[in-house]
Amino acid sequence: MSAKRDYYEVLGVDPKASPDEIRRAYKQAALKYHPDRNPGDKSAEDKFKEATEAYSVLSDADKRQTYDRFGHAGLSGGGFDFSNAGIGDILSQFQDLFSDFFGGFGGLGGFGMGARQRAPRRGQDIRVDAHITLKEAMTGAKQEVAVAGLAPCDVCHGSGATPGTSPQTCPACRGAGQVSSQRGFIMFSQPCPKCAGQGQVIVSPCTNCDGSGRVKRKRTVLVTFPAGIDSGQRLRVPGQGMPGPGGTPAGDLYVDVEVEPDESYERQGYDLVTHERLSFSEAALGTSFEVELPDGETVKAKVDPGTQPGSILTLMGRGVSRLDGRGRGSLHIVLDVVVPKKLSRKARKLLQELDREL
């Protein structure tokens, strides 16, 4: 798919559609374009991927809110692009959903279409929090995020089998990972009880991980934060979650972003707000000054004569970069006129003369 279509258009629903309406629309699309019903049809496969991608975003309240606000650009870097994903990976990632829809592991066995061979199971996804500075949010940054959990065993390299041996094809399901039984005209599928749906059995388990292929370990993952990222947004790092059992693919790492408060600047969307103190004479006569932005850039601002306390200078294009790449927000400078609390005798006399003159 060269150009992404609107997700609501893909599913044929209104942008205000309820979760149930979105679910029903996706089920209809998935049934229509499922690979089992359209063997060898590349066009149907692409539409199946497109519908699944749309549903993966619109069925999640947080992702849908981000999409409604920023469009496809708001999800960039989050891995929401199934156009190049394999059908097996998609069926594996959404196996619970497809099981609910189709009564199998992504296949249409419950609809008389013949069960599709089960895609490999994935490891669990992991969610972590990451704090970045306003400067990092403006310029983009790379940061190592600590992850505590299971990691592939170094001895067996995640296979779960003793080095020098390998898992064997399950004799009960012949590697399919599922067994089928027919009741009347309907075919039902379920995980193979002998291999627990893995399609393989380990004859000689690795002693380091007891055959699980995974060990507990702390590790770090390098995460890229795009310029313009904001608090409450989530990044997806594919394949950095929990390792899958028996060497199957790992889950994904989800990073919830929190931008730390800045002492000098307040962020409002893509705009920045700061305060500048002026003396009475500077406000009356006019002046200019330089402001250093959080990213280190210096900008010059000009104050016109007669500027009133609380006035706001707005500099276009000096705020935070937009996630969609379409420029930057604005910088708003609130001008605070400072009134001295103590005056010398000469200063008081001069102000009295000025007051009479004005």
Mind listing the pLDDT tens digit for each residue in 128-161? 999 999 999 999 999 999 988 777 888 988 888 9
**Token pair of 137, please?**
């949010």
349 and 288 share one domain: yes
175/156 Cα distance (integer angstroms): 21
Where is average pLDDT lowest: 43-52, 92-101, 266-275, 316-325? 92-101
Parent domain of 294:
266-357
Q: How far apart are the first and last CA of the chain?
A: 70
Whether pLDDT at 112 is above 60:
no
> In three state form, how does the secondary structure of 111-161 look?
HCCCCCCCCCCCCCCEEEEEEECHHHHHHCEEEEEEEEEEEECCCCCCCCE
Report the interhelical angle of 61-70 vs 42-58 (nearest 10°): 100
Asked, for residue 96, whether it belongs to a domain, the answer is no
Asked, for residue 179, whether it belongs to a domain, the answer is no
251 and 156 share one domain: yes
Question: Which of the four pLDDT bands, split at 50, 70 and 90, describes residue 82?
Answer: low
Tokens 């102000």 identify what position?
A: 351
Give the number of other CB atoms < 10 A from CB of residue 253: 22
271 and 325 share one domain: yes
Query: What does pLDDT average to over the chain?
Result: 83
DSSP letter at 205 equals B
241 and 345 share one domain: no
Among 260, 287, 302, the domain boundary falls at 260
348 and 272 share one domain: yes
Residues in CB range of 114: below 8 A, 6 or more apart? 36, 107, 108, 187
**Higher pLDDT, residue 173 or 96:** 173
251 and 278 share one domain: no
275/313 Cα distance (integer angstroms): 10
Asked, for residue 112, whether it belongs to a domain, the answer is no
Nearest to 71 by CA among 326, 352, 256: 326
DSSP letter at 203 equals S
Asked, for residue 5, whether it belongs to a domain, the answer is no
161/208 Cα distance (integer angstroms): 10
Asked, for residue 84, whether it belongs to a domain, the answer is no
152 and 237 share one domain: yes
Asked, for residue 294, whether it belongs to a domain, the answer is yes
335/311 Cα distance (integer angstroms): 5
**Token pair of 209, please?**
């991980």
Asked, for residue 64, whether it belongs to a domain, the answer is no
For the domain that residue 341 is a member of, what is the CATH number?
2.60.260.20
132 and 246 share one domain: yes
328/318 Cα distance (integer angstroms): 6
235 and 342 share one domain: no
**Higher pLDDT, residue 166 or 270:** 270
Contact between residue 252 and residue 244 where contact means Cβ atoms under 8 Å apart: no
Question: Which of the four pLDDT bands, split at 50, 70 and 90, describes residue 107?
Answer: very low
Report the half-sphere exposure of 54 (CA within 13 A, side-chain side). 25
Task: Count up the domains in the chain and report the number.
Answer: 2
Give me the numbers of helices (H) and strands (E) for the chain, helices first please: 9, 15
153/302 Cα distance (integer angstroms): 62
Q: What is the arithmetic mean of pLDDT over 291-296?
A: 93
147 and 235 share one domain: yes
DSSP 250-308: P--EEEEEEEPP-SS-EEETTEEEEEEEEEHHHHHH-EEEEEE-TTS-EEEEEE-TTPP
Q: What is the arithmetic mean of pLDDT over 306-334?
A: 94
Among 260, 280, 304, the domain boundary falls at 260
| DSSP-H helix ranges across 145-255 | none
Nearest to 221 by CA among 144, 150, 331, 164: 144
327 and 229 share one domain: no
Asked, for residue 78, whether it belongs to a domain, the answer is no
Sign of CA dihedral 201, 207, 210, 215: negative
233 and 341 share one domain: no
> In three state form, how does the secondary structure of 293-358 look?
CCCCCEEEEEECCCCCCCCEEEECCCCCECCCCCCECCEEEEEEEECCCCCCHHHHHHHHHHHHHC
